[in-house]
Amino acid sequence: MRPQSFEDYVGQEHLVSSDSPLRTAIEAGNIPSMILWGPPGVGKTTLVHVISKISGRDFYTLSAINSGVKNVREVIEKAKKSSLFSKGNPVLFIDEIHRFSKSQQDSLLGAVEDGTITLIGATTENPSFEVITPLLSRCQVYVLKHLDENHLDVVIDNAINHDSVLRLKKFKIKERDALYRFSGGDARKLYNILELLVNSFGDSDVIIDNKSVVDRLQENMAIYDKSGEQHYDIISAFIKSVRGSDADASVYWLARMLEGGEDVKFIARRLIILASEDIGLANPNALLMANACFEAVNKIGMPEARIILSEATIYLATSPKSNSAYMAIDKALAIVKETGDLPVPLHLRNAPTKLMKNLDYGKNYKYPHSYPGNYTEQDYMPEKLSDTTIYEAGKNSKENASEKYLSDLKKNS
C-alpha cells in the first residue's frame, strides 16, 4: 500500500503539492539534507520512499534502534565509492534519528558537511532537543502533521480497493467515527485496525460501524497494542492521573509506557511540563525534581531509569496542585494579542543616553530597595492596563503564604 509517487501520497499538502518548495527541489534533483519531524503513521518513511523513487540516487537506510557508529562509517565508505558513478551524491536515511547518541550523530557530520552523503532523518521527537546543533544546522526541518478525516477516508478507500487481501472482501461501511478516533490521524494504525477487523469477521462480510470497531478492538487489545499503538492515549492517561493526584494509576500508566518501549526521555519531558502546568507554585520544588529526573535518566538509561521515573512520578502525583502560572501566562498572551504593543511607562524605561534622560526616560522611578521592606507602590503595567489582574493565586499553602506576604507589604508601605 506504500505510495510510489507524489500523486499517490496522502496528506502533507504543504510539502508535496505541485508548487511546494520541497517537491519542486526534489523533482529538479536538488535533495537537501533534512529532518522529517512528525507523529507516528503520518508518512515520514513513505515520503522518503517516494524521494528515493524519483531521485534515482543510491539510497542507504539505517535504523537508529539497531545501528551504531560502525554502521554509519561503513555506509559513508560505500557512499564515497558509489558517488563516483552515480548522478548525485548518495542519500542516507536514518529512521528514528532521535535515538542516535551524540557520538553517533557526530560521526555523520563530516560526510554531511562535505557532501559525501545527503542525510534524511525521521523523528517523532522535537529535533531541537534530540539532534545535535552542528548537524541540525546543516539540515532543513520539515514538520509533518496528523492526517485529518479526509485523508483517512482516502487511506480507507485505497486499502479496500487496492490491497491484495482486502479487495477480495465485501465491505459495508456504515460509520467511520470510531475508525477516526482510534487511529488518531495515524495511517499505519488505521491499516492495522482494518486488518484486525477483516480477520475478526472471517469469511463474512466486513461491517464497519462504530460498535463493531469498538467491540473488536476491545476483544483484541493485546494485538492492537503490541507495538505501542496507543501511545497518545496512554500518555494522556498518565498525565491526567498525575494531575488527579492518583499515585497508583500514575505508576501503572508509567509501567505501561516502559513495557511498551517508550523513550524514557519523552516521559521525563512530560514530567517537566506537568511540574510547571499542574503543580507550579503550589510546590516549586516539583520542577526541580522533574528536571533532575530528566538529567538522571538521560545519563543512566534503562533499566535503572525506571526507578528514577517512578520516584518523580509519585512525587508529582502526591504534590499539591496549582495551574496558576499556566493560567497567568495564557491570560497575559491573550491580552498582548488583543492590545498589541502598548508603550512602556516612561519611569520604567532604560535611559543609557543623555537624549533619553532629557525625554524623561527613567524619571520618577522608585528603587524598591531604598524603601522599608524593599517595597514601594508604583505602576509597572502600561497605563491602559493599570487595573488589570493577570495572576490569581491558587488555593494552596505556598501561594496563600505568598499572597499574604504581598498583602502585608502593601498595607505597610
Handedness of CA 369, 370, 376, 379 (dihedral sign): negative
| 223-257 confidence digits (pLDDT tens) | 444 344 466 778 888 999 999 999 999 999 999 88
Give the mean pLDDT of 275-302.
92
- Domain 149-224: assigned CATH number: 1.10.8
198 compared with 35, residue with greater pLDDT: 35
pLDDT at 83: 60
Report the alpha-carbon distance of residue 313 to residue 316 in Å, rounded: 5
- Give which of 9, 78, 80 is closest to 44, Cα–Cα: 9
How do the domains of the chain map onto residue ranges? 6-143, 149-224, 231-317, 335-412
Give the mean pLDDT of 354-375.
79
The fold of the 335-412 domain, in CATH, is post-AAA+ oligomerization domain-like (1.10.3710)
Span 231-317 CATH architecture: Up-down Bundle (1.20)
Report the alpha-carbon distance of residue 91 to residue 93 in Å, rounded: 6
Give the mean pLDDT of 156-171.
77
pLDDT at 271: 96
394 compared with 309, residue with greater pLDDT: 309
Contact (Cβ atoms closer than 8 angstroms) between residue 179 and residue 210:
no
> In the structure grid, which three cell numbers stand for residue 406, read together?
504581598
Give the mean pLDDT of 170-185.
79
Of the listed ranges 20-29, 133-142, 184-193, 381-390, the one predicted with least confidence: 184-193
| 102-119 confidence digits (pLDDT tens) | 778 888 888 888 888 888
pLDDT at 219: 60
pLDDT at 284: 93
199 compared with 372, residue with greater pLDDT: 372
3-state secondary structure string across the chain = CCCCCHHHCCCCHHHHCCCCHHHHHHHCCCCCCEEEECCCCCCHHHHHHHHHHHHCCCEEEEECCCCCHHHHHHHHHHHHHHCCCCCCCCEEEEECHHHCCHHHHHHHHHHHHCCCCEEEEEECCCHHHHCCHHHHCCCEEEECCCCCHHHHHHHHHHHHHHCCCHHHCCEEECCCHHHHHHHCCCHHHHHHHHHHHHHHHCCCCEEECHHHHHHHHHHCHHHHCCCCCCHHHHHHHHHHHHHCCCHHHHHHHHHHHHHCCCCHHHHHHHHHHHHHHHHHHHCCHHHHHHHHHHHHHHHHCCCCHHHHHHHHHHHHHCCCCCCHHHHHHHHHHHHHHHHCCCCCCHHHCCCCCHHHHHCCCCCCCCCHHHCHHHCCCCCCCCHHHCCCCCCCCCCCHHHHHHHHHHHHHHHHC
Per-residue pLDDT band at 15 (split at 50, 70, 90): confident
> In the structure grid, which three cell numbers stand for residue 141, read together?
526541518
**Chain centroid, CA 156 distance in Å:** 26
Domain 6-143 sits in CATH 3.40.50.2000: no
